[in-house]
Amino acid sequence: MQAAQPAVQRLDFDTLMVAVGGGSVDSELLRELYASGGHLVAADGGADRIVAAGLKPEVIIGDFDSLSNPFTWLGKAHLMQIAEQETTDFEKVLYSTRAPVTVALGMTGGRFDHTLAALDAVARHAAERRIVLVDEEDIALGLVGPIRFTIDPGARVSVHPLAPVSFARSEGLDYPLDGLLLAPGVRTGTSNSTSGGTFSITPVPGNRAPYLLILPRVFLAGLVSLLLHQAQ
Q: pLDDT tens-digit profile of 22-71?
A: 999 999 999 999 999 999 999 999 999 999 999 999 999 998 887 777 77
Q: Name the 3-class secondary structure at 119.
A: helix
Tens of pLDDT, residue by residue over 143-194, are 999 999 999 999 999 999 999 999 999 999 999 999 999 999 999 999 999 9
Distances in Å between the Cα of 232 and the Cα atoms of 81, 102, 218, 225 are 31, 15, 24, 11
Q: Which CATH number fits domain 147-215: 3.10.20.30, 3.30.300.130, 2.60.120.320, 3.40.50.300?
A: 2.60.120.320
Taking the domains of the chain in order of start, what are their residue ranges? 13-136, 147-215
Q: What is the pLDDT of residue 74?
A: 77
Q: What is the pLDDT of residue 227?
A: 97
Q: Whole-prediction pTM value?
A: 0.93
CATH entry 3.40.50.10240 includes domain 13-136: yes
How many residues make up the chain in this entry? 232
**C-alpha angle 60/125/140, rounded to 5°?**
85
